[in-house]
């Protein structure tokens, strides 16, 4: 996608791909299976832009006006 960078758009929060180790730690912390995480599709434009693959967990850092930074996680899935 030439011309503009969607990652800089006001509505798009910061997306970071977690490493295997971080992913394991996260699942352990909440005592859950990765399937229980919220999902994000592989064809999502942001996933394409940062180059994540199915099975990756993406850490999303949302900026909230009231409380500041809020961290959210999504699992990359095929359809």
Using the rule CB under 8 A, give the single segment among 16-24, 27-35, 63-71 that binds another protein. Answer: 63-71
DSSP annotation of 50 reads: H
State yes or no: residue 12 binds another protein (CB under 8 A): yes
As a whole number of angstroms, the distance between CA 19 and CA 58 comes to 9
Q: Which residues on adjacent β-strands are paired with residue 63?
A: 69
53 touches another protein by CB under 8 A? no
**Residue in 57, 4, 62 with CA at minimum distance from that of residue 28:** 57
User: Contact with another protein (CB under 8 A): which of 16, 17, 27, 41?
Assistant: 41
Of the candidate residues 20, 38, 53, 55, the single one contacting another protein (CB under 8 A): 38
Q: Kindly compute the dihedral angle of the four CA atoms of residues 17, 10, 44, 58, in this order, to the nearest 10 degrees.
A: 20
Residues of this chain that bind another protein (CB under 8 A)? 3-6, 8-13, 15, 38-41, 44-47, 60, 62, 64, 66-69, 74, 77
């Amino acid at each position: 996608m030439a011309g503009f960078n969607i990652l800089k758009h006001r509505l798009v929060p910061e997306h970071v791909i977690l490493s295997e180790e971080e992913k394991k730690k996260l699942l352990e912390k909440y005592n859950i299976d990765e399937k229980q995480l919220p999902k994000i599709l592989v064809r999502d434009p942001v996933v394409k832009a940062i180059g994540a693959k199915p099975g990756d967990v993406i850490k999303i850092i949302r900026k909230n006006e009231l409380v500041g930074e809020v961290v959210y996680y999504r699992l990359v899935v095929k359809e």
